[in-house]
Amino acid sequence: MSFFSKCSPFAFCLFVALAAFPSGADEQSEIESLKRQIEEIKRQNQEKILEIQRESQRQIEELRRKIEELEARDRVEQKSAKELLAEELKEKESGLKRIVDFNPDFPSYFRIRARFFKNATFIGATEDKDDEVFFVDSRFILSPMLKVTDNLSLRSQIDVARNIVWGGLGDSSVSQKFFESPSPSDSFRGALLREVTDTVSGNVLSPVEEDTDFFDIRTLYVVAKTPVGELWVGRQPYDWGLGMLVNAGSMPDQDLGSIVDRFEFDTAPLALIDERWEKLMFAFSIDRLSQGQSLVKGASGSGWEMGVGTLYRGDSLELGGYVFLLSQNDFDIGGGLSGDLEKNINWSLYGSYNIGSFFLAFEFQNIFGEINDLEEPLPLVIGSSDVDISAENFLFVLRGGYSFSPSFVDVVAAEFGWASGDDATTPDKLEGNAIFFNNAYTVDNLLFKHMIPNIYALEGSVINSWYFRLWSTLRLTESVYFTPQALFAWVDERNALSLDVVTPLPKVRRFLGAELEGTVTLKVLDHLWFDFISSFVVSGGGLKDLLSQRAFIEETVSSVDLADPPDFPFAFQGRLVLTLDPLIKRWTGSSTLLKRAFW
């Protein structure tokens, strides 16, 4: 019997049931398998999630990159547009600057001065009269240049409101009204402080010009650089040497000055042979003389001036000279009378030497000739139809000094100057005063700047005098300078003044006087300076005599003996200077030692 046949039905059913259900071990294995499947599914899902995240991140980064590229491109385009605009503006500005610039010959500045004078004129020699002068004036001088090419330029100086007196000089039509500005175009000329009479011509000279042009083209000239030299053509400032006689008057402490209508050619012909000779220059010039009061400038007649000059400009040495021939028909001598200037010679020598911190310089000027064909009644009055311009007419300056910069003592300098005077007892001969120091030559701010010109009725400075001055500039701080100066002066020709052509006044004493002056200069800002200047004169016998005689000439006293000249004239000045170009890099209150622009 088989096994199955031997089992009971119950046993068979149990066997079948056990066969249908796995054992405990197999069940556990199945569970583990299912778990592994779950984990696998989780892992796969996680990988898919990570892949989706990576893809999403990649897409996001791609989008960001595209955004950045677009933004960068936009910035580049914007920057390019800005740069292009900036370059265009810069090019236009550069092009304009290449065309219009500051004149390299002379400075541009704005100046305001407030000045007070006490007993500085002949009124101070009049008993019971108060001699006080106070005024404020301003000047804006602009020196532009139109640069056509590197070798061709048009240069000029423009005076805007030249020494315009603040508030004018008064006008009766508005003097009783509030907030009026009468005579706004009254201009201070620069030398005289009161009206005086020229006893030779009879002309009355005024310290001011009324109704002057607010806008005045002072100079306008062409500078052309050619292969063989330079041409200077037009109305131009005239500078030479130390500026003793011819001085452009373009600095912040200057007035008046020399202007000429000139054709000039400067050349260095020896440089064509050897370049070492390029420092030796020759100049040839022709001037058309204009109306004026000095023989050098000419007067109202038709006249010419022709000259030749030479100048050597080395590293430490400058040496030169010139000779001019003057000719003037119908020379105006005043009172409607005239004469002729013929064969008048003006010549000059100039030298400057610098070694280390030491400097030495000189200038000499001389003129001689004749005034011919005087109109009646002058020949009858003086006994001759000619006036001899003696070779005794000379000017001389010698200056030396030492620069300690940089230190507390910036510079120490001394100067001797001499202007020959005319003998009033010889009306047919001019021994002096045919030429005199230019008022633009800065010696001081009172005695020679104003008092002496007012005495002699001449718009100069050193006239019929010789002097010695010593000064020093002290650097108190980086922005404050102090310049003390002591000056001593004497009369050259003691027969100095006359009541008219043939009536000389008594001899004057020799000693003019002493002047003590102090200038404090404050650098307020770059390009902005303020000067305070005090000047005190101790009157010598010569100055007292001259003031007394001028008071008699002007009829403020009935006789010379009744005059009461002042013992201590003095003046104060406040001056604000704004420079517009780099030509004046440092300002210490005076232009005396600044580099001069002359040719």
**85 within a domain of the structure (yes/no):** no
Q: How far apart are CA 435 and CA 254, in angstroms?
A: 19
Examine residue 73 and state whether it is found in any structural domain, yes or no. no
Q: What is the CA radius of gyration of the chain?
A: 45
Q: Which helix (H) or strand (E) holds 486?
A: strand 480-491
Total domains, the chain: 1
Angle at 360 between CA 357 and CA 363, to 5 degrees: 150
Q: Does residue 584 fall inside a structural domain?
A: no
Contact status, residue 376 vs residue 336, Cβ threshold 8 Å: no
Rounded CA-CA distance 239/251 in Å is 12
Judged by DSSP in three states, 273 sits in: coil
pTM value surpassing 0.85: no
Angle at 502 between CA 497 and CA 505, to 5 degrees: 35
Q: Are 515 and 538 in contact (CB under 8 A)?
A: yes
Q: Containing domain of residue 460, as a range?
A: 103-579
Residue 374 domain-assigned?
Answer: yes
C-alpha to C-alpha distance for 152 and 222, rounded to whole angstroms: 8
| 459-510 pLDDT per residue, tens | 999 999 999 999 999 999 999 999 999 999 999 999 999 887 778 899 999 9
Q: Is residue 68 part of a domain?
A: no
Tell me whether residue 333 is in a domain. yes
What is residue 560's DSSP assignment?
A: G
What pLDDT, on the 0 to 100 scale, is given for residue 297?
A: 47
**Environment class of residue 240 by beta-carbon count within 10 Å: exposed (0-12), middle (13-18) or buried (19+)?**
buried
The amino acid occupying position 282 is F
- For residue 588, report the phi and psi dihedrals to the nearest 5 degrees: -120, 20
- Is 566 a domain residue? yes
Tell me the one-letter amino acid at 120.
A
Q: What is the DSSP string of 241-263?
A: TTSSSS----STT--S--EEEEE
Per-residue confidence (pLDDT) for residue 455, from 0 to 100: 95
Q: How far is CA 97 from CA 90, 94, 119, 332, in A?
A: 10, 5, 50, 45
* Backbone angles phi and psi of 50, in degrees to 5: -60, -40
H and E: helices and strands count for the chain = 6, 27
C-alpha distance from residue 545 to each of 116, 130, 423, 427, 569 (Å): 24, 19, 16, 21, 14
Phi and psi torsions of 269, nearest 5°: -65, -30
337 contacts 379 by C-beta, under 8 angstroms: no
The string of DSSP letters for 438-453 reads: BTTS-S-SSIIIIIHH
Q: Which residues pair with 222 in a beta bridge?
A: 154, 233
Q: Which of 249, 205, 247 is CA-nearest to residue 453?
A: 205
Q: Write the CATH number for 151.
A: 2.40.160.100
List, in sequence order, every beta strand (DSSP E) within 104-143.
Answer: 109-118, 132-142
Residues of the chain short of pLDDT 70, as ranges, are 1-25, 75-82, 84-98, 169-185, 290-301, 331-337, 376-383, 596-599
pLDDT score for 474: 95
Is residue 388 within 8 A of residue 430, CB to CB? The reply is: yes
| 276 contacts 302 by C-beta, under 8 angstroms | no
Residue 23 maps to a domain: no
C-beta neighbour count of 229 within 10 angstroms:
18
